[in-house]
Amino acid sequence: MIKINISEFKNYESKSIYAFLLLQNETEFEIIIPREAVEGINDQYELVIEFLSAAYAGQLLNGIANCFAYYTPCSNKLMPFYFQVIITDMEKLADTLYYIIQGFNDPDDGETFLDFHTKAAEFLNDAFEEKNECSTWGLLHIANNFLQQ
């Protein structure tokens, strides 16, 4: 299993990620998304954004994975989000990872960053209105709880 910490790929383009994936000759991946917000220390909306973004990222990964699992970290500890996937289409994985990385790491709030967060918010609404089949309810539930506070 290849571990991919998205913060280590924040300066990569989609083509570079694709080249990296092809070199690995692997189909099992653990995608790691570091956390920055901790309950009791950071503002609740930072936690909403972090858990919602992770839920949406997981949903995207599930959409291209043959097999998908995720870990829901405790909100009052700085443990990262983990997603384990089996994916055979490296081009789709590269494009999806690039999109997720931009959604978490664009300091300039570029177009991709804003698109990611807009779609994450739509994902939250659609999941609770049962317009889609959510595969990351644990993360989404935590995000929604912080949103309701």
Per-residue pLDDT of the chain (149 residues; tens, 9 = 90+): 999 999 999 889 999 999 999 999 999 999 999 999 888 887 888 999 999 999 999 999 999 999 999 999 999 998 999 999 999 999 999 999 999 999 998 766 688 888 999 999 999 988 888 888 899 999 999 999 888 87
What is the count of structural domains for the chain?
1
**Residue ranges making up the domain that contains 121:** 2-148
Per DSSP, helices labelled H in 39-80 are: 44-64
Phi, psi of 51 (to 5 degrees): -70, -35
- What gap in Å lies between CA 7 and CA 63, rounded to an integer? 22
The model's pTM: 0.93
